[in-house]
């Protein structure tokens, strides 16, 4: 499974890239706003930091306006992926961009039916929001399983399932076990994925034992 980081903070992106676990970056208007910087400046810098896809989200809600924004964003860097809302206007834009060879990430997906529509429109990625479904008392991971199974039934579908709204490391594990293609993970969750008490205990013991090796210090 590939890992995208869910942030527009270039320091966090740079740190994740340095570890070697970063395949792409997911941004949205809320994350860009938190950066306090111009949208284009942030996207261009992120694209220079990573080789993989960088999602830049349109804010228009009409198809032609979405396409105008999308084409502008796509001109900034070769690895820009256009993020579109899962509404009829967004899927019309997705189909046009797909025909033009522009990568797309269809977002705000909450059902397998929506994911099937996005795949038919040529989406490069579909982003189901599992955390938000969990918040409403649904099993968000069940939707991921339905989408993965449905897509697997049709070899002609090459849309990748990008699990979004991840809240904790177990979400990542479950998504990988189901067979999702990508997890878009907040920096805080990536940090938690490294943690295990037995790792800390083992490292502490190894270092203590090393102090007893003649000449080690």
Q: How far apart, in whole angstroms, are the C-alpha atoms of residue 138 and residue 136?
A: 6
Q: How far apart, in whole angstroms, are the C-alpha atoms of residue 174 and residue 194?
A: 16
**Tokens describing residue 148:** 């993965």
Structural element, H or E, at residue 85: strand 80-85
Q: What is the DSSP string of 169-197?
A: HHHHHHHHHHT-SEEEE-HHHHHHHH--H
Catalytic residue among 2, 34, 40, 83: 83
Task: From residue 52, give the alpha-carbon distance in Å to each of 81, 199, 216.
Answer: 10, 30, 42
Q: How far separated are the first and last CA of the chain, in Å rounded?
A: 41
Please give the DSSP secondary-structure letter assigned to residue 181. S
Q: Are 125 and 106 in contact (CB under 8 A)?
A: yes
Is 2 catalytic? The answer is: no
Largest Cα span, the chain: 73
Where in the sequence numbering do the catalytic residues fall? 83
């Amino acid at each position: 499974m590939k890992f995208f980081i869910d942030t527009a903070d270039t320091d966090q992106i740079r740190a994740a890239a340095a570890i070697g676990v970063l395949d792409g970056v997911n941004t949205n208007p809320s994350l860009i706003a938190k950066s306090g910087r111009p949208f284009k400046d942030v996207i261009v810098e992120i694209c220079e930091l990573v080789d993989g896809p960088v999602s830049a989200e349109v804010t228009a809600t009409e198809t032609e306006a979405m396409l105008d924004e999308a084409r502008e964003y796509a001109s900034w860097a070769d690895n820009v992926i256009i993020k579109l809302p899962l509404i009829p206007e967004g899927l019309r834009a997705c189909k046009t961009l797909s025909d033009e060879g522009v990568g797309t990430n269809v977002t705000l997906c909450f059902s397998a039916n929506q994911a099937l529509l996005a795949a038919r429109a040529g989406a490069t990625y579909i982003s189901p929001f599992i955390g938000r479904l969990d918040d409403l008392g649904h099993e968000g991971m069940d939707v991921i399983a339905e989408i993965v199974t449905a897509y697997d039934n049709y070899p002609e579908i090459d849309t990748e399932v990008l699990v979004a709204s991840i809240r904790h490391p177990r979400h990542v594990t479950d998504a990988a076990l189901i067979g999702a293609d990508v997890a878009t993970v907040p920096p805080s969750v990536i940090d938690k994925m490294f943690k295990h008490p037995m790792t800390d205990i083992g490292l502490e013991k190894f270092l203590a034992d090393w102090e007893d090796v003649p000449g080690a210090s």
